Amino acid sequence: MNYSKDYFRKHLQEKILPFWSRLEDKENGGFYGYMDVNHNLDKKADKGMILNSRILWFYANCFLTLSDDPNRGEYLRLAKVAYDFLIVHGFDRENPGIYWMVTCDGEASDSTKHSYNQAFAIYALSSYYDASKDADALRKALELYHLLEDTCFKGDGYEEAYLRDYSGLVENDKLSENGVIATRTMNTLLHIWEAYTELYRVLDKKGDEASMVAKSMNTILRIFIEKVYSEGNRRLEVFFDDEYNSLIDLYSYGHDIEASWLLNRGIDVLGEATDSNLKTKTEEIIDVLISHVYEQGYDKIRHATMAECENGIDAIQKIWWVQAESIIGFTNGYSRNSGIVEYKQAASDIWEFTLGNIVDASPEGEWFQEKDSPEGEKFPMVSPWKCPYHNGRMCLEMINRLG
């Protein structure tokens, strides 16, 4: 049976891990930043720090999860490769924070400081601390946490894109799509929540730092409930102006199903430190998000989750990360409501669709980025956004969730 703990482990160990391990840049450090759909590697391509952070998170968690894997030591070594590159080349030596992009040999090529990028570095550094017990990794994660809270949190949320020295904001084109430029986004808020969840998990719960992170997480929950969640639309709105006015009629099925389990994970990790009223409302929202994605975003003929719905029109393409998050999200939905067997079946069916349509069947391939693109586009196998975070994490989650 493909929808099983053993099969997800096999897929991770035999497909995803070998692919990314071959991308280690032994000359310049870190991992190569671009490979096209035909497996042509560009060794001179710039290296995105989001990609690097996600690779760091991935290998650290493979080390933590695959305790009986004979290659476990290699996973920790590769995590350190990503960690060293992030510390030496990703961190700005003159100003706080992580660059957006560096050249293949580690010089800043895009010095934008983005809250989303800082969040992924926190996420990765926290996991690496757990795997390696390197106290400097935790210190760096806390340094970025304080940067987000002391510099980027303004008004009722996080400002997003800054100049290198944080002397001013720049246009948030990196986290804006669909013809709008947003000053606040659901996506950035979600991944700050995700990062703080991992940071809180590894902190000493009796310490002052944990209390501060818990307070920040409760604040983020309140923002999700009061500003981001639309009760009338039964979804998270996506792009906002500075006052949280939604800029577009857009339903991101992938982000909603991802948010459903990330919010769930966060309140579980936060435990008794979660404000009880916020927890009750968040639990309600989680169930609504799962239900609504299943009703509206899950293609029950193709057995895959669609990308999004803009102005009432569904985008037909099936994107790799959306399928990965849907497998986790519907599995989590079934664990929350075991009477809704349709969720478990959807997760299994999406996995079968993914194996047949998204996974690259070639011996050295990984996952294609997209299926059913209306323009017939051929997207890269590796890019600043194409990484082992979604599909690798899905396998790790399923290993932990399935008996």
HEC-encoded secondary structure of the chain:
CCCCHHHHHHHHHHHHHHHHHCCECCCCCCECCCECCCCCECCCCCEEHHHHHHHHHHHHHHHHHCCCCCCHHHHHHHHHHHHHHHHHHHECCCCCCECCEECCCCCEEECCEEHHHHHHHHHHHHHHHHHHCCHHHHHHHHHHHHHHHHHHEECCEECCEECCCCCCECCCCCCCCCCCCCCEEHHHHHHHHHHHHHHHHHCCCCCHHHHHHHHHHHHHHHHHHHHHEECCCCEECCEECCCCCECCCEECHHHHHHHHHHHHHHHHHHHHHCCHHHHHHHHHHHHHHHHHHHHHHEECCCCEECCCEECCEECCCEEHHHHHHHHHHHHHHHHHCCCCHHHHHHHHHHHHHHHHHCECCCCCCCECCEECCCCCCCCCCECCCCCCHHHHHHHHHHHHHCC
Task: Specify the pLDDT at position 301.
Answer: 94
Record the pTM: 0.97
Angle at 133 between CA 128 and CA 138, to 5 degrees: 60
* In the chain, where the domains are located: 5-401
The region of weakest confidence among 137-151, 263-277, 288-302, 376-390 is 376-390
The pLDDT score that the predictor gives to residue 371 is 80
Angle between helices 276-292 and 208-223 (to 10 degrees): 50
Distance CA(381)–CA(13), nearest Å, equals 18
Any bridge partners for residue 154, and if so which? 157
Task: Indicate whether 374 pLDDT > 80.
Answer: no
Task: Report residue 12's pLDDT band, with 50, 70 and 90 as the boundaries.
Answer: very high
Question: How far apart (Å, rounded) are the C-alpha atoms in residues 144 and 93?
Answer: 14
Provide, rounded to the nearest whole percent, the portion of the chain with pLDDT above 90: 97
Tell me the backbone φ, ψ of residue 294, rounded to 5 degrees. -60, -40
- pLDDT at residue number 20: 98
| Beta pairing, strands 101-102 & 108-110 | antiparallel
- Mean pLDDT (the chain) is 96
* pLDDT confidence bin for 373, thresholds 50/70/90: confident
Percentage of residues in the chain with pLDDT exceeding 70? Answer: 99
**For residue 103, how many other CB atoms are within 10 A of its CB?**
16
Would you say domain 5-401 falls under CATH 3.10.450.50? no
Residue 376 has pLDDT above 80, yes or no: no
Q: What is the pLDDT of residue 316?
A: 82
pLDDT tens, position by position, 192-226: 999 999 999 999 999 999 999 999 999 999 999 99
Calculate mean pLDDT across residues 219-244: 98
Q: What is the pLDDT of residue 273?
A: 98
pLDDT at 1: 73
Per-residue pLDDT of 297-348, as tens digits, reads 999 999 999 999 999 999 988 999 999 999 999 999 999 999 999 999 999 9
pLDDT band at 356 (very low <50, low <70, confident <90, very high): very high
pLDDT digits (tens, 9 = 90+) for 20-68: 999 999 999 999 999 999 999 999 999 999 999 999 999 999 999 999 9
Task: Give the mean pLDDT of 264-268.
Answer: 98
Asked if residue 292 has pLDDT above 90, the reply is: yes
